[in-house]
Amino acid sequence: MNITINDLRASINGQEILKGVDLELNSGEVHALMGPNGSGKSTLSNVIVGHPAFEVTGGEVLVDGVDILEMEPHERARLGLFLAFQYPVEVPGVTVGRFLKRAVDIRAGEGEQKTKGFIKQLREMMDYMQIDQQFINRYLNEGFSGGEKKRMEILQMLMLKPSFAILDETDSGLDIDALQIVAKGVNRLREGDFGALVITHYQRILNHIRPDYVHIMYRGRVVTSGGGELVDSLEANGYDWIREQYGIEEENDVKPVANG
């Protein structure tokens, strides 16, 4: 899967957050997207999967050459796109097992036979993610701790096997054990035809998921891209370095409100 983002602009409540994002992503690659809070990272991920609160004001997102911006969220999911949410919503009354069965059946396709051995596969993945089997009968995300929610996002990813996944700050708030489990989940899919955009504020997770490419986002744009060495520069110099290098002409902009 190829994802090409050209001059993407988007706003929420009339305020422009994305101010012309250009990015190219492919299955088989792992990209890291870094940047200070408010730079538009979460907005970018939500716009790609079709969050209704954001308004696209310009540009395009092409998946294998086809613009997906007019598609419904479920149509984008069926192309093989997946977002691990930064803040997954709670869905009372809908059990993890029931929800995932339905989602996996739909992902398998209408005409094809229903997923065989679903429960066996689910149990195996839950073991792999060190999620208690009792969660199958829990209501989706309801009463989950922050770490349990993040692991549940990765479990969904493992079950749905997307071609390209975006992980929106999946690392934040996780202790080192949980972080390793989440990284394990991503690395498991990496063996196949799978790509990921790992959005993070810190380089910590990138020690466990080594990115092929690193992009820095600042004030609604991807301001620089490179290899793993960019992470080291950031680590050494902090985001002030970005601000000094790319922020001068933006000083008069209004401060973005969206988180990420």
Partner 1 sequence: MNSTHTAVFSGTHQIDRYIESLHEPQWMSTIRRRALQAFCAMVWPTTEDEEWRRSDISSYDFDSYGLAPAAVVQPPQIAGSVDGAERSGVIRFRNGQCSEASLDAGLARQGVVFGPLSVLLDDGVGNNSAQHAAAVDAVRRLLEQRSQSFENRILAWHYATWTHGVVLYVPRFVEVKVPFEVQFDNGADQALSAPQVIAVLEEGARATLLHSVTGDDEGEVLINEAIDVDVAAAAYFDLFTHYDLNVDSTTFSNGRADIGRDAGFHSFVSNFGGMFSKLRFDADLNETGGDIDLDGLYFASRDQHMDLRTVQSHNAFNANSRTFYKGAVKDESHAIYQGLIRVARNASQTDAYLTNNTLLLNNGARADSIPGLNINTDDVKCSHGSTTGKIDPLQLFYLQSRGLPSDVARIMLVQGFLEEVINRAPLQVRERLRELVEQRILAQYDVDDE
Binding site for partner 1 (CB under 8 A): 49-52, 72-74, 76-78, 82-83, 85, 88-89, 91-94, 98-99, 102-103, 106-107, 139, 156, 160
**CA quadruple 70, 76, 81, 85: dihedral sign:** positive
Q: Which is nearer to partner 1, 62 or 94 (CB)?
A: 94
Contact (Cβ atoms closer than 8 angstroms) between residue 217 and residue 40: yes
Rounded distance between C-alpha atoms, residue 210 and residue 116, angstroms? 33
Q: Which is nearer to partner 1, 75 or 232 (CB)?
A: 75
Question: Residue 93 Cβ, how far from partner 1 at the closest point, in Å?
Answer: 3
| Rounded least distance, CB 149 to partner 1, Å | 12
> Min. distance of Cβ 70 from partner 1 in angstroms?
15
State which residue, 136 or 160, has the beta carbon closest to partner 1.
160
The two structure tokens encoding residue 202? 């810190």
State in angstroms the smallest separation of the CB of 121 from partner 1: 16
Nearer of residues 65 and 92 to partner 1, judged by Cβ: 92
Shortest spacing between CB 52 and partner 1, in angstroms: 6
Closer CB to partner 1, 3 or 34, in the complex: 3
Instruction: State the nearest-atom distance from the C-beta of 161 to partner 1, in Å.
Output: 11
**94 versus 223: smaller Cβ distance to partner 1:** 94
